[in-house]
Amino acid sequence: MSSPDAAQPLMSLWQSACYALQREWRLCCRQRSEWLQPLAFFIVVIALFPLGLSGDLAALRVFAPGIIWVAALLAVLLSLDRLFRDDYLDGVIEQWVLSPQPLVLSVTVKVMLHWCLNGCLLALISPLLGVMLGLSWQEVAVLACSLVPGSFVLAWIGAIGAALTVSLPRGGVLLSLLMLPLYVPVLIFGAGLVRMVALGLPWWPVMALLGGLMATALLMAPWVVAYALRLNISTQ
């Protein structure tokens, strides 16, 4: 936002990014359930599959990549609904829009920290769950590596949806309808990657593709999210 009296920003970009990071970090520390609950959800959903399918490790091993990826996807989705909602209700987002600091910066800091506490943690505990579902060590390593860029893309696509539906009273269900079709490519590549390792096929090209998606998401999504937030504020 560039109003005439704010021609000179009060802080440099770097300073304001640090302040935004401090704020988000403090929020995360005080509301631990925010990022612990999706994690617990991830583990519980995966634990349900052996109960529902069968305890046979050989059979589970076939389904394991898909199970873990779908559970990760649902966990990310679960955490998205509140990504911007509390800030929106408190009026923080309105302040962001009005402040001389670029909205893209605040958005980027928020979503990146959200991803670190959500996607990265999912990737960190996924080896344990992979081994429990009978995957080999190599497959488990690739699974964890694929979840890092994968969850990054999921978080940013989801942030677009969360920003679009932030002013809607019952955005949660709509959010899942909007996001799940868009998550399909990541799911296909991510789960396919682990299957390729199991078949002994070269998996680097798909990994590179996920990395490319990650770079594209970082380049484009922050601006889309900022636009979506602004549209929810300006048409009140």
Partner 1 sequence: MWHYLHQWASPKWFYQRSGRWLPWLAALTLLTLAVGSIWGLVIAPPDYQQHDSMRIMYVHVPTAILSESVYLLMALCSAVFLIWRIKLADMLASVMAPFGAAMAFLALFTGAVWGIPTWGTWWTWDARLTSMLVLLFLYLGVIALRGAFQQMLAGARAAGIIALVGLVNLPIIKYSVVWWNTLHQASSFSIAHKPAMPASMWLPLLVMIVGSYLFMVTLIMMRTRSEILRREAGMAWVKQLAQAPMSKEDAA
* Separation of alpha carbons 104 and 102, rounded Å: 5
What lies within 8 Å, CB to CB, of 58 at 6+ separation is 134
**Exposure string for 47-70, b = 16+ CB within 10 A, e = fewer:** eebbeeeeeeeeebbebbbbbbbb
What lies within 8 Å, CB to CB, of 212 at 6+ separation is none
Among 150, 161, 190, 222, interactor with partner 1 by CB under 8 A: 161
Q: Binding of partner 1 at residue 227 (CB under 8 A)?
A: yes
Q: What is the nearest approach in angstroms of partner 1 to the Cβ of residue 235?
A: 4
Q: Binding of partner 1 at residue 71 (CB under 8 A)?
A: no
Q: Rank residues 129 and 160 by Cβ distance to partner 1 and give the closer one.
A: 160
Q: Binding of partner 1 at residue 159 (CB under 8 A)?
A: no
What lies within 8 Å, CB to CB, of 203 at 6+ separation is 142, 193, 196, 197
| Number of residues that this document lists for the chain | 236
List binders of partner 1 among 163-192 (CB under 8 A). Answer: 164-165, 167-168, 171, 174, 177-178, 180-182, 184-185, 188
Q: Rank residues 25 and 227 by Cβ distance to partner 1 and give the closer one.
A: 227
Q: Site residues (CB under 8 A) for partner 1?
A: 157, 160-161, 164-165, 167-168, 171, 174, 177-178, 180-182, 184-185, 188, 224, 227-228, 231-232, 235
